[in-house]
Chains A and B, each alone.
Chain A
Amino acid sequence: MYAIEVDRLTKRFGDFTAVDGISFYVAKGEIFGFLGANGAGKSTAMRMLCGLLTPTSGDAKVAGFDVYDNPEMIKKNIGYMSQKFSLYNDLTVVENIKFWGGLYGLDGKTIRRKTDQILGELDMRDWKDSFVETLPLGWKQKLSFSISTIHEPQIVFLDEPTGGVDPAVRRKFWEMIYAASERGITAFVTTHYMDEAEYCSRVSIMVDGRIRALGSPNELKRELGRNSMDGVFKELARHAKRNSD
C-alpha cells in the first residue's frame, strides 16, 4: 500500500482546468518533491490531497482514505505546514505545542511527553515560555515542523516550508525531514529551491496542470541531459503557457 495514490485527478474551475488528470504514487517513508512554477496547479492538487477541495474527477487515496468519502479521516492522519505561520504569536512555545497537540486529539500525558521531546530536539528549553512572536524566523519554522508532526501522522505535507529562511537553517530543516522520514513519516514537499529538490527521493514536475516529469533527481537529470535539477526544471518550465496564478 502506498501513502498516496493518485489516478487521473482533475480539478476544473469553470472553463479553467487547474489540475489536468495527474497520476502518481508516493511510497511510505518517501520524501516526495512536488515541483512546478507558480500557477502550474501545485497548490490546487495539494489542497485536494489534504481533503480541503473536492476533485472534479479522478481518484485519490491519502493514508488509505478516499478524498471524496473520507476527507475528515485524511485530516486526522496527515500533518500540514506552510510558509505562512501556523503558530500563534501571542501564545508561548509550550502553549502552541499544547494547543495543536490538543487539537489533533492527543491526551494530556502524551502532550507533556511530546512537549519535552520537542523542546529537547530543538534545544529550546530556555525559550519554552517565550512568546512565539519573539523567536527568530528559522526557529519558528522548525517549531512549526515539529508541531505539524506532533501526532505522528502517516504523511506530512510541507508547502514551501523553507521560504525566506537562510541556507544554514534550511539544511537543518532538511535534517528534520530526513529524521521524520526515518520514523516512517512520508513527506510531500513543494519548494522553489532547486537545490532542495536534490534532497528528495523522487520528484514530480508540474507544468500547466499536468505532470511532465517524474522520477528520482538522478533519473530526471539523465533523461533531460542536465547536470542539475535547476537545469531540468528550466528545460521543462520554459514551455509553460501559464505564467502566474
Chain B
Amino acid sequence: MRRLAYLLEKEFKHIFRDKFMPKLIIMVPIIQLLILPFAADFEMKNINLGVIDRDGSALSKRLAEKSGASKYFNAEMLGPDYGAAMGLIEQNLADIVMEIPQDFEKDITNEGAANVLLSVNAINGMKGGLGAAYLNSIISDFSREITETSEPYMPPSRLQTLTEDRYNPHLSTKAFIVPGVMVFLLSLIGGILSSLNIVSEKEAGTMEQMNMAPISKITFIASKIIPVWIIGMALLTIAILIAYFVYGLFPEGSFAIIYGFAAIYLTAFTAFGLILSNYSSTAQQAMLSFIFFVMLFLLLGGIFTPISSMPVWAQNLTLLNPVRYFVETMRGVYLRGCGFADLLPQFYTICAFAIALNIYAVSSFRRNTD
C-alpha cells in the first residue's frame, strides 16, 4: 500500500506539471457542456411558414393567425399563386406552405370537415417533419375549438389524439442532451488520460525501470486508474453544477446513484484506455486507436441520437457498448427519478464491463516487452 502511495503521488505530479493536461481537464467539460447542448438542439424554432388563404373567411383567418401565434412558426401570408409559393420553398425561404382552399368555412359549417394542404420542404428532414407535426397539432387543436364553439348538435369532427409528454414536459432537448454530454465527457477524459499514460512511460524509457521494480502488476495498474478516477469524479461534480446553474437541471433521482454508477463506469472506461495503451508503442498509436473506438462508442451510445431510431443491427451493436448503459442511467436518474431497483440491469452490465475490462487491462499489461 505504501508503494501505491508513492506511485500515486508521482502520477498526480505528472498530470499537474504537464503544461497542457490541467487546462484540458478543466476546459473540456466546461466547453462541452456550454456548447454541445445548444448545438445538438433538436427543438425547431423559426420555421418559415407561408400561408395561402384562398377562402378569406373568418375561420380561415383564425387558423392562419393561430399558426402564426405559435412560437415555432414565422408565418407570412402569401398571394394565391401556388407556383410562387413553391418557388419560395425551392429557394429555401419557406419551410412549409399551408394552403387553405376556397370554401373552407362553408365546408366546415355544412359538412363538418375540410381539407388543408401542407407542402413541406423535406430537405432538412428533421425540420420538415417536426414542423409538419407541430402544424398538425395546431390544426387539430383548431378543429377541436371550432367544434366546441359551434352549435351543440354538431358531432366532433374527428378523433382527438391527446399526447402527454412525460418526464420532459417541455420537450426540451437540453434535458435529453445534458446528461448524455456528462457521459460523453467522462468517457473522453477517462479514456484520453489513461490511454496516454502507460505509453508515455514507454516513450520516456521509464517503463523498463518500472518493470524491474518490485511492484505487482495490480499495484501498477491501480496507480494508473486511481488518479483518472479521482479527476473524473471531480469533473462530474463540475458538470452537475453547470447542469444546474446553466440549464436548471437537477436530478429527479439521487446523487448517490449518479456518483456510484459513475465510479464504476469510470474504472471500466479507464481500463479500456489502459488496454489501448498496453498495445501501443507510441502516443500517436494510442490516440488514433482511442479516437476510432470512442467515435463508435459515443455514436452508438445514444448520446445525441436515440438508440430506438437506429436500424436493428445497430441497436444490437449498442448492447456491447458500455456508454449506452451509463447514458440510460444518467437520463433515468436525471429525468425520470429512477431508483437503484429500476437500474439493476444497467448496474449489472456496467459492473460486468468494469470487471472484464480491468482483468483484461491487468493481463494485457506485459512486462516482457521483447
Q: Which residues of A are interface residues toward B (Cβ below 8 A)?
A: 43-44, 47, 50, 52-53, 72, 75-76, 78, 80-82, 84-91, 95, 98-100, 102-105
Tell me the bound Cα distance from A102 to B4 in angstroms.
Answer: 9
In the complex, what's the smallest C-beta–C-beta distance from A76 to chain B, in angstroms?
4
CB distance from B200 to the nearest CB of A (A): 10
Asked whether B204 lies within 8 Å of A47 as measured between CB atoms, the reply is no
What are the residues of chain B within 8 A of A89 when measuring CB–CB?
204
B2 within 8 A of A: yes
Can you name 20 extra interface pairs (CB under 8 A) apart from A90-B13, A102-B3? A47-B370, A50-B212, A52-B212, A72-B214, A75-B213, A75-B214, A78-B212, A84-B205, A84-B206, A84-B208, A84-B209, A85-B205, A87-B206, A90-B18, A91-B10, A95-B10, A102-B5, A103-B6, A103-B213, A103-B214
Secondary structure dominating the interface of B: helix
Judge whether B214 and A99 touch: CB under 8 Å: no
Collect the chain A residues with CB atoms within 8 Å of residue B216's CB: 72
Given contacts A102-B3, A105-B3, contact A86 B208 (CB under 8 A): yes
Complex contact A103–B3 (CB within 8 A):
yes
A176 to B13, CA, bound (A): 30
Q: Is the CB of A104 within 8 A of B213?
A: yes
Contact of B158 with A by CB under 8 A: no
Contacts of B9 in A (CB 8 A): 99
Best-buried of A50, A72, A76, A88 by chain B (most CB within 10 Å): A88
Chain B interfacial positions (CB closer than 8 Å to A): 2-3, 5-7, 9-10, 13-14, 17-18, 204-206, 208-209, 211-216, 367-368, 370
Interface of A is mostly: mixed
A144 closest partner in B (C-beta): B209
Question: How far, in whole Å, are A85 and B213 apart by their CA atoms in the complex?
Answer: 14
Closest residue on chain B to residue A82 by CB atoms: B208
Which of B206, B212, B367, B368 lies in contact with A88, CB distance below 8 A? B206
- Provide the bound-state CA to CA distance between A89 and B201, in Å: 11
A105 touches B211 (CB 8 A): no
- The answer to whether B368 touches A105 (Cβ under 8 A) is no
Chain A contacts for B212, CB-based, 8 A: 50, 52, 75, 78, 80
Contacts of A103 in B (CB 8 A): 3, 6-7, 213-215
Closest CB of chain A to B239's CB: distance in Å? 28
**What chain A residues lie within 8 Å of B214 (beta carbons)?**
72, 75-76, 103-105
Residues of chain A lying within 8 A (CB to CB) of residue B204: 85, 88-89
Residues in B whose Cβ lies below 8 Å from that of A47: 368, 370
A85 in contact with B206 (CB, 8 Å): yes
- Assess A86 versus B6: contact at CB under 8 Å? Given A52-B367, A91-B13: no
- Can you identify 16 A-B contacts, CB atoms within 8 angstroms? A52-B212, A75-B213, A84-B208, A84-B209, A85-B205, A86-B205, A86-B208, A86-B209, A88-B14, A90-B18, A91-B13, A95-B10, A102-B3, A103-B213, A104-B213, A104-B214
